[in-house]
Amino acid sequence: MSAKPSHIIISLFTLFLIATPPAMAAVITVNTAADVVSVGNGACSLREAVNNVNSVGVDTTGGDCATSAGGDTISLPAGTCALTGASGEAQYAYGELCITKAVTIQGANAATTTIIVAGKTDGKGCDPALGTAVSP
């Protein structure tokens, strides 16, 4: 007795669900303290990492930073990251970051990782994501 076509389709669909792993959150590693957006330069800045987080599944950095999978962690090295407003980002020219998706920003530790905003806010603001956490 042969299997009915509907049983074959259901079996193939079940196999697809079992064989497809769920998307795992990415760890996006920042490797420069410079506040830059320079696509394809090999450096992943905090601003570029946030841009990728905000664009889940799309690499906005030309390979500089890992692509976001949603619910990611941005890993910062020890040092000071001074947000001054990246060239080409007129909307946030005062240095502020607009985080619109859930993300954890993890520094090396509280004593050695610092993020400062060098400018003042422009008052435009943004809609921050619920679930954004910053930890040392």
Query: pLDDT per residue over 76-118, tens digit each?
Result: 999 988 888 765 555 556 667 888 888 999 998 888 888 887 6
52 CB-near residues (< 8 Å, 6+ apart): 28, 58, 59, 60, 61, 65, 66, 67, 68
Q: What pLDDT score was predicted for residue 126?
A: 55
Q: What pLDDT score was predicted for residue 99?
A: 85
Q: What pLDDT score was predicted for residue 3?
A: 53
In a domain, 1, yes or no: no
Lowest mean pLDDT among 19-33, 56-70, 118-132: 118-132
In a domain, 10, yes or no: no
In a domain, 7, yes or no: no
In a domain, 112, yes or no: yes
Tell me: the pLDDT tens digits for 24-64?
788 999 999 988 888 999 999 999 999 999 999 999 999 99
In a domain, 18, yes or no: no
In a domain, 13, yes or no: no
In a domain, 30, yes or no: yes
pTM (whole model) above 0.75 = no
| Total tally of structural domains belonging to the chain | 1
Q: Which domain holds residue 40?
A: 23-135
